[in-house]
Amino acid sequence: MIPPSTRDLINIGQSKYAVVVAAAQRARVLSDKRKNDENYRLSSMVTEALDDIINSRVTIVTRSSDQDQRVK
């Protein structure tokens, strides 16, 4: 598999940081699902996560800064 270009990934997400966080979270989900599966593919979870993002199998959802602020 040819990895997706950084430019393509940034066009999908709002920033490169959003793409990195989304890929890490997706890779964690994939890894957790396959812990007990003996027949999983021996591919990189991060590569598979990036493939899922570029092929729109998952979407990147970001929170606005208003939602991140705590109410006191």
Q: For 12-34, how does the pLDDT look when each residue is reduced to its tens digit (9 = 90+)?
A: 767 888 888 888 999 999 888 88
Instruction: Output 63 or 28, whichever has higher pLDDT.
Output: 28
* Backbone angles phi and psi of 67, in degrees to 5: -75, -25
Give the number of other Cβ atoms within 10 Å of residue 38's Cβ: 5
CA distance 1 to 72: 49
Average pLDDT estimate for 4-12:
73
The pTM of the full predicted model, rounded to 2 decimals, is 0.68
Residue 68 pLDDT level (bands cut at 50, 70, 90): very low
